[in-house]
Every structure is written in structure tokens, then in C-alpha cells.
Structure 1
Amino acid sequence: MSDASLWLSILAIIVLLVMSGFFSGSETALTAASRARMLQLEKTGDRRATVVSRLIMVRERLIGALLLGNNLVNILASALATNVLLSLFGDAGVVYATLVMTALVLIFSEVLPKTWAISNPDGFAIAVSPVVRVVVIVFGPVVSAVEMIVRALLRLFGVDVSENRNVLSAHEELRGTVDLQHLEGGLVKAERDRIGGLLDLADLEVSDVMVHRTKMNTLNADEPVDRLIQDALASPHTRLPLWRGQTDNYIGVLHAKDLLRALAAAGGDASSIDIEQIVSPPWFVPDTTSLQDQLNAFLKRKAHFALVIDEYGEVMGLVTLEDILEEIVGEISDEHDVELAGVRPQPDGSIIVDGGVPIRDLNRAVDWRLPDDEATTIAGLVIHEARMIPEERQAFTFHGYRFTVLKREKNRVTRLKITPLSKEVAGSVKAVFAGHAAATAQAPAPTVQPG
């Protein structure tokens, strides 16, 4: 081989290695690029982002074209290197060509470009998208033929290769992305909980978030008007269910503002007020209604309050617009609410919790993962897992926690102590305890108003 041919072959090998690195880096960048970010760039008028989005939509053809190009240049570079080294070292050139090309391809055509691409996949994808688009068009027919052969072979082994098959739903993909961002520090716990709560609306029913009938604040329409007004003003709620005769015979919902208007119109004479004339008709919703549907119904009816009934028409509790919004934004506290009501973190990492505390609220408060598929409250979870009504001081261990019954009233478990068995989980409770202690210490002392 002449000197000119030798140098031309070496130059060709270098060019082919660069092309191989381009194909490898492009494959990594385009498969790791964020479709959501590309969509945002499209809205700003970035044409290359549009090209990237279209390439991602035909991911299988894109990868096939890049792999085809990568294999072509790698094989050609290896053939040229073998030819050059055979002319220099004879039969030993085959061994030298194998070692040299393996090292060059691994470093300069695989590891280096892929590491570069993964460090900034969106920018790399946008930069290479015009050239890759041409590659996909040129190699398209060959890739299509290869796809047909591959699909036919996979079907022989019973593998599902339908083109539009999605392993994860859109909600699951979003949930996974949110959890990953939280682990990597891109989202704080509160932000993760808000987005997760929004995604959970379609999976939850009103029975999961309703106020149980045993905790409902209601009014008896048979009582004197003076007493009703006193009870309404003493209640922390502005909407109160009104019943007559029996506690499950609800005749309407009394709004405190309507009551005040009627009292003002009557000149303060409570005896002249007809309560039934100022109440709004009750709205009953099935307990199996999803929170997403109920939220839409609240918005459509411009209502904030509904009574929840079971399949037999019995009132199970009530649900409000605030209950649903709290699933998204977390607990909404006002001057009448107690933060983390019923949940008392302990310095040792355990917590003392009322039996009626919802599992989801406890998980959100201390960042736990107790299952809420079979039960809504903590007491319900213990009874479900124990398959019995536990006695006081009885303890159970499941799901990585130790549950000790502290108090029981008749058949109701009213107070428990939950101790995490994992030190990491206990640490999250200690963090909550420390946060509350710091907030208490920094809170200003109450002032006494004269007179």
C-alpha cells in the first residue's frame, strides 16, 4: 500500500469514527430528550424542537436508522483498519486491528459521545435533529423492511409488538416522573404531594375523603329557632345539614350567611324566622363517585357541599369542595382548624394517632406509605390486617410498622401508637416533630386585648 493510500485510509477511519460517535450520541440524546420540554420550545417557535418531537414520535424507526448508520460506519472503519494493519504487520495485523478498533470505537464512538449527549440531552437533540431527520428519511425503506422482519420473528415467540402499545398510562408516567424529580431534589415534598394528589383524583372516591356521619355537625329542625341560631353560631362550619324527626332524615342545608340575613331582615326577632324557608335543598351523591367527577359536579352546580349516601340510600357522611381541594394542596387550615389534628409525633420517631385519622392524611403528614386500598382510617387498617377488634395494649406488626392500641371505646379503636421499624422512616417523624417544636418556639405569645 502506497503512502498516499495509507494516509487516505487513516483519514477515512477517523471520519468514520466521528460519524459513529455522531450516531451513538444522537441515539442517546433523542431517546432521553424531554417531550414536554420540546413541546414548550415548539410553542416559542423553535423549528428544530418540532423536528425533535416528530423524530421522537417515530422512535422505533429513528433508533433503527441510527443503528443502521452506526453499524455501517463501524464495519467499514474496521475493514479499513484491518486492511491498513495487514499491509503494515502482515497476518498479525488482524489482531492489532481488533484491539485498536475496539479501543477507538469504545472510547471515541460510544462512551465519549453518549456521555456528552446524556449530560445535556435536550440541547444535543436539538443540535443534531436536522441531520438525523435526513438519515431517517434516507434509511427509512431499509428500516421498514427490518422492522417487518423483526415483528414477524417476535410474533413467533408470542411477544406483543403492536405499534401503539403503551406499557404505562399517562398518569403512571407522570407519577413516575414526579417521584424521580423528588428523589433527585427537583421537587420538594409539598410540591410532589400536590401533583400526586391531582393525579389521584380519578382513583379516589368520595367515601375516601368524606366526613363520616358520626363526626358530622348537624342541626335538629324541631328545636326552637333561638337554639338553632346559637348552635349555628357556635359551629366552626358555615354550612350545616338540617334534619327533622330522625337523624338520617335530612331536609336541607343551612348556610350561616343566609341565617344572618334572615335575622337582620327580622330585626333580630328570631321567633319570626322560618328556618325551612332559608335552607337549601340537600344534594345527595353516591359514595362510589370519583373525586374527579365530584369536583366537576361541584364546579358545574356552583355548590360546595353534598351528602354522601350508600347503595341503600343511607347517609354515610358529607363531602365538601374543600375536602377535594385538600387532596391536591394539602390540609387547608383556618382559625378554627388544628394543624395535624389527631396526629402527635413523638421525639423517639413514633406517633400517637387517633383511630379516625385518614390513612392518606397521615401519609401526607409524615411522608409514609401505608396502604389505603382496603381501609380509609388508621383504625380500619389495623382491624383489616388483624382480622379482629383488638383489645387495649394489644400490638401488631405489619407493613414495616408496629401498631399498639392505646384506647378502645366499645368496638371502636380510638387511639393508637405507631412505631416505624425502619430508622429512616422514624427519622422522617423526628423531622416533623422538630419542625413543629421550632414553629411553637417561634410563635409569638398571645396578646390580651384590654376591655
Structure 2
Amino acid sequence: MEHVSTTTLIITLVIMILVSAYFSGSETGMMTLNRYKLRHQAKNGDRAARRVEKLLRRPDRLISLVLIGNNLVNILASALGTIVGMRLYGDAGVAIATGILTFLVLVFAEVLPKTIAALYPEKVAFPSSVLLGPLQIVMMPLVWLLNTITRMLMRMVGIKSDGAISAALSKDELRTIVYESRTLMSRRNQDMLLSVLDLEKVNVDDIMVPRNEIVGININDDWKSIVRQLTHSPHGRIVLYRDSLDNAMSMLRVREAYRLMTEKKEFTKEVMLRAADEIYFVPEGTPLNVQLVKFQRNKKKVGLVVDEYGDIKGLVTIEDILEEIVGDFTTSMSPTLAEEVVPQNDGSVLIEGSANIRELNKAFNWTLPEEEARTINGMILEALQDIPLANTTVQIGHYAVDILDVQDNMIKQVRITPQTSLKESVGS
């Protein structure tokens, strides 16, 4: 090295620091890329994305290549720095060169390039892949040797390196991604995606029309009464039964009944029954995601929910499930939550007894218990184990519930006032 000028050594040293910065930035840029965005770009024909994706298929090889290059350059830079320091300052130059070189490497070869790569991973990773690809091929023997030795050492300490790392996302991880995409999609689309992910947490009992609200026609009624019920029905399908809903016979397609009514000169019960289908039964507790698939597979749109004894508990339609995803349809005949609640100026809320607890919790961010009952009426009866009188107050969790109206053994209206817990009050 005596015949090499000091200026040449300094220029070489600067080049070594730049090369070290390249390897450091490339490593950080490659590893901080959004893999799903990268996969999407590669599928759309982006050549740079394809190069990077190919490199990342074997991250162990990529990391080994970067570390080999980075360490070789840093060690060479250290040796050159020591020589330059001794030429300029004698024996004291070793310490001086070590301090200066440490500062330069940390700032310009580590912190600065890695910070830039972390902020702009695509702008760093895509161009650097042009060089890393061929370099990996040239360095493959050394990379293979290094990886082989590393795997042997890992096996000696009981660490398995042959386990495949799954790139699949769990539902909770996917839910987090949807939350973080708030600036890239509308709130409505975000809510729809989250609703799809939450379908398995909701079952048919939570959305069904309760038994006492099911619209049906008793075929043993007077024929004029049957025709009147049919012509005034707001629903597309009606349960046909004999005397009692427990003796449900079939599900009448109202539109088909109208068609037969106009085609036939004489519209009779026998003609009407031609527009009826066999009843489709749904076991209670079926998750909505499962029931949606069953509706599609069986080509059904409505089913009667039954318990373990075969007793009818309610009615569920495919529209009810879709409403869980996209929100209420304007054609729904059931009262909306806005029609069942009236917020008050004092922070309390007037609520109809038939209001759905789960919808209230979602709308007001409450935590009313919804495990044992689906309506406010059911929740209070479950808590008291008795039918209360009007003007009774009950405490349920952090909520004061004033019962305002009770009719026909059912709670018609309540006032719910959220109360701050003692711990929160002390903290404030």
C-alpha cells in the first residue's frame, strides 16, 4: 500500500462508505416493502416489482448477500481508514481514524440510508434490485456456504429453519389492515368489509324476526279473509299454517300467487298452494357466514329458525344477512333504529322495548349485555327474572334503566342513562 497515494486511499474510502450505504439502504428498503402491494404490482406486470418479489422469495439468501457485501466493505473501509490515519497523524492516527470512521459509517452508511429507505422503500428497493439480482448469482457459492453453516449451527441449538412461513393473514390482521386503510377507501366501504369479517360473530338469532312478529296466513280461515291478507301483505313471502304457527305447512311466494290470480279465472286455495314452496328450516345459533352459504347452496331466500326441539323461534331472510353487511335497505318493513330511539338533552335515550341490543351497542358505543337476549325487553326480563311495573328503575352494568311503559306483559318503552363508573369518576 506504500505506493498508493493518500488521496487515492481517501477516495477509495469514500467509495467504500457509499457502497456500504447502498447495501444498508437496500436491506431496509427490501424488508420494509408492503408485501401485498408488491404482489399486486407484480401481478399487474411491473418489472421492478417482479425483480424484487423474486429476491424476496428467499429472504435468507438476500440477507446473506447484503450482509456479506456490507461487512466486506466496512472491514475494507476500516483498514483503509487506519492506513490513512497513520500516514497523516502517525500512531495517534489509529485512534483518530477509528473515531472519525465510526462517525462516518454510522451517519452516512447506516442511519441516513436506512432512514431514507424506511420512508421510501419502493424508491430504494426497486432500483437496487437491478444490481442485487446479478450480484446474488455471482455470490451464490459464498451465500450458499454461509447459509449452510448458519443452518447447521441453528440445528445444533435446536432451532428448525425449514419451517415455511405463511404469508396468509388472520382475520384480526386483515381487520387491522382495513382499519389502517381509512384514508384509501370510503367509510362506507370500510364498514362493509368489517361487517363481512364479523359475520361469523353474529348468528341468526341476533337478526331474525321473532316468532310473535312473523306474518302468516291460516289456510283454515275464511277464503275472503285469506285473499284480503294476501293482497295487503307487504312481504314477498308469507308462512302458510293450519290454526297455529307450529303447524307451518309451506312458504307462499306472493308474487307467484298474484300471477296465478291474474291468469286463472277462478282463484282457489288449491291454486294458491301452487305458489307455495316447502319450508326451509334453520337451526338456532347458526353463524351468519354459514347461513349465507347455505341459502346460496340451497337456493333459498327465507327460512324459519327452530330450536333443538323443533319449535319455531323466528324467521330469517337473506336480505337480513345482507343488511348486516351493507346496512338497512329502504324496502325493509321493520322499524329502523332511528325510529326506535330518541336521544335526550340530558344524555339519556328513550328506547322502544323491541329495539335490538346489538344495534344499540354499535350505534352508541355501549356495552349492554347481548348474550342472553336480543331486545331491550328481553334484557330487562332476563335481569329481573320477572315482569316489572312501569316507573321501575333497574341498574344493568353502567346503565340506569327507567321502565316507562309496560303493556301486555311486555316492556314498551324505557329510558337508558349511561353512568360513568366509580373508577372513571375518580380519575376525572
* TM-score over 0.5 (shorter chain): yes
Q: CA deviation at 1:62?
A: 2.9
Which of 198, 215, 218 pairs up with 1:217? 215
Which of 278, 282, 294 pairs up with 2:275? 278
Q: CA deviation at 1:390?
A: 9.9
- Is 2:15 the counterpart of 1:15? yes
Q: Secondary structure at the match of 1:303?
A: coil
Change (3 A) 1:133 1:339: farther
The count of corresponding residues between Structure 1 and Structure 2 is 411
Residue 419 of structure 1 is matched in structure 2 by 418
Residue 185 of structure 2 is matched in structure 1 by 187
Residue 235 of structure 2 is matched in structure 1 by 237
**What is the 5 A alignment of 1:92-171?**
92-137=92-137, 138=139, 140-145=143-148, 147-149=150-152, 151-152=154-155, 155=158, 163-166=163-166, 169-171=169-171
Residue 263 of structure 1 is matched in structure 2 by 261
Change (3 A) 1:363 1:70: farther
Return the alpha-carbon distance in structure 2 between the equivalents of residues 279 and 175 of structure 1.
Answer: 42
Change (3 A) 1:88 1:290: same
Change (3 A) 1:26 1:418: farther
- Is 2:399 the counterpart of 1:403? yes
Q: Secondary structure at the match of 2:314?
A: strand
In angstroms, what is the RMSD of aligned CA positions? Answer: 3.7
Change (3 A) 1:350 1:378: farther
Q: Secondary structure at the match of 1:155?
A: coil
Deviates more, 1:133-142 or 1:245-254: 133-142
Residue 331 of structure 1 is matched in structure 2 by 328
Q: Secondary structure at the match of 2:399?
A: strand
- Is 2:57 the counterpart of 1:57? yes
Change (3 A) 1:90 1:39: same
Q: Secondary structure at the match of 2:277?
A: coil
Q: CA deviation at 1:283?
A: 0.7
Q: TM-score, structure 1 length as denominator?
A: 0.76
Change (3 A) 1:306 1:132: farther
Residue 34 of structure 2 is matched in structure 1 by 34
Amino acid at match of 2:31: T
Q: Secondary structure at the match of 2:278?
A: coil
Q: Secondary structure at the match of 2:337?
A: coil
Deviates more, 1:72-81 or 1:349-358: 349-358
Change (3 A) 1:47 1:227: same
Return the alpha-carbon distance in structure 1 between the equivalents of residues 33 and 381 of structure 2.
Answer: 45
- Is 2:316 the counterpart of 1:311? no
**What is the 5 A alignment of 1:67-86?**
67-86=67-86
Return the alpha-carbon distance in structure 2 between the equivalents of residues 129 and 76 of structure 1.
Answer: 24
Residue 425 of structure 2 is matched in structure 1 by none
Q: TM-score, structure 2 length as denominator?
A: 0.80
Whether the 8 Å CA contact 2:210–2:313 is kept in 1: the answer is: yes
Change (3 A) 1:132 1:379: farther
**What is the 5 A alignment of 1:280-429?**
280-334=277-331, 336=333, 338-341=335-338, 342-346=340-344, 351-354=349-352, 356-362=354-360, 364-366=362-364, 368=365, 370=367, 374=371, 377=374, 379=376, 392-397=392-397, 402-407=398-403, 410=409, 415=414, 417=416, 419=418, 421=420
Change (3 A) 1:130 1:351: farther
Return the alpha-carbon distance in structure 1 between the equivalents of residues 366 and 156 of structure 2.
Answer: 43
Change (3 A) 1:167 1:6: same
Q: Secondary structure at the match of 1:249?
A: strand
Return the alpha-carbon distance in structure 1 between the equivalents of residues 86 and 368 of structure 2.
Answer: 67
Amino acid at match of 1:254: L
Q: Once the two structures are superposed, what CA deviation does each residue of 1:90-132 show, in whole Å capped at 9, x if it has no partner?
A: 4443443343233322322233223322333234322222323
Amino acid at match of 2:307: D
Deviates more, 1:46-55 or 1:57-66: 57-66
Q: Secondary structure at the match of 2:177?
A: helix
Q: CA deviation at 1:241?
A: 1.8
Q: Secondary structure at the match of 2:331?
A: coil
5+ unaligned residues in a row in structure 1: which ranges? 423-451
Q: CA deviation at 1:28?
A: 2.3
Change (3 A) 1:56 1:231: farther
- Fraction of identical pairs, as percent: 32
Amino acid at match of 2:158: R
Return the alpha-carbon distance in structure 1 between the equivalents of residues 272 and 105 of structure 2.
Answer: 85
Change (3 A) 1:379 1:148: farther
Amino acid at match of 1:318: L
Amino acid at match of 1:259: A
Return the alpha-carbon distance in structure 2 between the equivalents of residues 71 and 351 of structure 1.
Answer: 67
Return the alpha-carbon distance in structure 2 between the equivalents of residues 356 and 49 of structure 1.
Answer: 55
Q: Secondary structure at the match of 2:279?
A: coil
